[in-house]
Chains A and B, each alone.
Chain A
Amino acid sequence: DIVMTQSPASLAVSLGERATLNCTSSESVLYSSNNRNFLAWYQQKARQPPTLLMYWASTRESGVPDRFSGSGSGTDFTLTISSLQAEDVAVYYCQQYYSTPQTFGQGTRLEIK
């Protein structure tokens, strides 16, 4: 199974500041035939199911604010929130859907400093 490792486990950022969340996969999730990274990011707010933020590592889901961006390729990925808002407090998970079983990172808890 592909192991997904997220860092840091928790992060406190001031309102309006940048938040950078990292995700590393134990194997490449880049599919060479279409040059796509099979990597998604989800946001889970307290007592709610997750919602999809990014897919193909850097494609923003419809309705997601443009302060969220995804980058990276192969095994190393980053989710960036350019200007943290109060409503961004949540746990963020990365997921690889390159191979079965699909696997998730353990999450990064994002809080306001």
Chain B
Amino acid sequence: QVKLLQSGAELKKPEASVRLSCKASGYTFTGYYLHWVRQAPGQGFEWMGIINPNGGRASYAQKFQGRVTMTRDTSTSTVYMELSSLRSDDTGFYYCARARVPEMAFDLWGQGSLVTVSS
């Protein structure tokens, strides 16, 4: 079965960091790019960045430059997204989503990981 399985919910304090995972299965891991997108409570989607599992090159939205790092582990078909210096407005669902090339729609999404930032 083709799917993206994300890690569980996280509760973090302000200024902490969070590392989320997204494990791919049922398809060739290096054949698709993976995006990270977040959704604040009751809001729309915000694109955070993209990683190419074939080589590991990542590109980030300007808003998150310096705070986000995306990596991959080809041995486990998993991508990771680490966000640092967390603030309360980072609270929301974080999704990984795949695309065949960067300039294509997202044809498969993970189930989402809820990150709550609260003191």
Contact = CB atoms under 8 A, between A and B. Distances in A.
Q: Do A and B bind each other?
A: yes
Contacts, number: 54
Given A103-B47, A105-B44, A95 B112 contact: no
A51 interface: yes
Contacts of B63: 101
Contacts of A49: 95, 109-112
B106 A104 contact: no
A72 interface: no
Contacts of A52: 105-108
Interface residues of B, number: 23
B105 A40 contact: yes
- Size category of the binding interface on chain A: 20 to 34
Interface string B60-80: 011100000000000000000
Interface of B: 35, 43-47, 59, 61-63, 95, 99, 102-112
